A = this chain, B = another copy of it.
């Protein structure tokens, strides 16, 4: 069974170099592999391996020119990943609310303690 698209997207994002490549492409637009490799202090084959993972996940598109195959960001799969995660927004917002309530309670208690001194 081939992995589903969402799993392929998340697996591609589960690496700091690959996320940095996407961040770089978001800034620079279409970029050659040589240019992309520069900030990473990595060999071209190592970068190419990461690019293949990103390309298979549909997160980058590469030009067809044999010599110079520039890469560009393709954000479409990120939309699906964001939509999936967004289902859980209420849960993390609730925990932030609870934390904020708790801090407020602590502060109120502290003020009361101060007044009683």
* A residues adjacent to B (C-beta < 8 A): 3-4, 6-11, 13-16, 19, 22-23, 26, 73-76, 78-79, 81-82, 84-89, 91-92, 95
A82 and B89: CB pair below 8 A? Answer: yes
Copies of this chain per assembly: 2
Given contacts A76-B92, A82-B86, A88-B75, contact A14 B19 (CB under 8 A): no
Contact in complex: B10, A88 (CB < 8 Å): no
**Contact residues in B for A8 (Cβ distance below 8 Å):** 14
Bound: A76/B96 CA distance, A: 9
Instruction: Give 4 new A-B contacts, CB below 8 A, not counting A23-B87, A82-B85.
Output: A10-B11, A74-B95, A75-B88, A76-B95
